[in-house]
């Protein structure tokens, strides 16, 4: 089994790593080309691309967070780690003991977490040269796992691998912020969202993080 699915108790705690090496360049480029983004960069000078570090924790937390608010996800996650260690064997053991159902997780999300844990524990989630794989290869591999769709894979790219040009077009929070700041609060067709993203290449991760931060005082992290 590769190190990216190993468990380290220290990495389950929220940590603030140094910003990625590309972050300042991304912020400057977005500010220079987009006055709205320039305002967000100025408003949130201390923004961090926070991560829990361990790949398993990133994927598990992304599953927990699917289609719910940051606040609700934080509450459920805290209950989860109170009843078990966030590791493949910890999740499997908690499921067998009936503890997962006490955390506020839907039945489907419980199934997804257990499937992810089993794949990791059995060594089936096994990508050589993980750090060197391109974004789409990572997405294609992760989406073979039950419960991990493109959005969850994109969260992994952003928060674990910290790739600079990830644009989760289906993310509800990002869509809300785009609507507020660029489209007068109106509904935005996906084609328009994609066009907006294309104009922010190759720094779409930073653009997304600033949009998220503008909506919620709780920093997004997986």
Domain regions of the chain by residue span: 55-159
Q: What is the pTM of this model?
A: 0.79
Instruction: Output the DSSP codes for the chain.
Output: --GGG---GGGGS-B-PPPPTTHHHHHHHHHHH-HHHHHHHHH-TT----B---HHHHHHHHHHHTTS-HHHHHHHHHHHHHHS-SSHHHHHHHHHTT-GGGTT--HHHHHHHHHHHHHHHTT----TTGGGS-HHHHHHHHTTSTT--HHHHHHHHHHTS--S----TT-HHHHHHHHHHHSTT----HHHHHHHHHTTTT-HHHHHHHHHHHH-SSPP--
**pLDDT (0 to 100) of residue 48:** 79
pLDDT band per the 50, 70, 90 thresholds, residue 129: low
3-class SS at 9?
helix
**Where residue 1 falls among pLDDT bands split at 50, 70, 90?**
very low
What are 6-43's pLDDT values in tens digits? Answer: 233 333 333 445 789 999 999 999 999 999 999 999 99
Among residues 12, 171, 195, 216, the one annotated as catalytic is 171
- On whether the CB atoms of residues 221 and 16 are closer than 8 A, the answer is no
In the chain, the percentage of residues whose pLDDT exceeds 70 is 86
pLDDT in tens, 154-195: 989 998 889 999 999 999 999 999 999 999 999 999 999 999
Question: What kind of fold does domain 55-159 have according to CATH?
Answer: Endonuclease III; domain 1 (1.10.340)
Mean pLDDT of 108-112: 95
The reply to whether 171 belongs to the active site is yes
pLDDT at 8: 35
Cα dihedral value 54, 165, 219, 74, nearest 10: -50
Mean pLDDT (the chain) is: 86
Residues 6 or more apart whose CB falls under 8 angstroms from that of 217 comprise none
């Amino acid at each position: 089994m590769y190190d990216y699915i190993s468990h380290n108790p220290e990495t389950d705690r929220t940590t603030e790593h140094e910003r990625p090496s590309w972050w300042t360049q991304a912020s400057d480029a977005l500010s220079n080309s987009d006055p709205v983004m320039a305002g967000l960069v100025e408003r949130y000078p201390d923004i961090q691309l926070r991560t829990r570090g361990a790949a398993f924790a990133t994927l598990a937390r992304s599953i927990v967070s699917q289609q719910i608010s940051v606040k609700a996800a934080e509450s459920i996650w805290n209950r989860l780690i109170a009843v078990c260690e966030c590791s493949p064997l910890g999740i499997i053991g908690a499921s067998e003991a009936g503890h997962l159902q006490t955390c506020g997780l839907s039945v489907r999300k419980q199934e997804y977490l257990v499937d992810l844990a089993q794949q990791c524990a059995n060594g089936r989630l096994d990508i050589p040269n993980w750090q060197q794989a391109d974004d789409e290869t990572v997405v294609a591999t992760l989406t073979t796992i039950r419960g991990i769709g493109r959005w969850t894979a994109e969260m992994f790219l952003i928060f674990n691998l910290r790739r600079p040009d990830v644009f989760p077009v289906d993310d509800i929070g990002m869509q809300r912020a785009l609507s507020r700041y660029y489209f007068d609060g109106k509904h935005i067709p996906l084609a328009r969202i994609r066009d907006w993203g294309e104009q922010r290449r190759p720094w779409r991760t930073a653009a997304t993080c600033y949009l998220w931060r503008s909506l919620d005082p709780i920093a997004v992290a997986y």
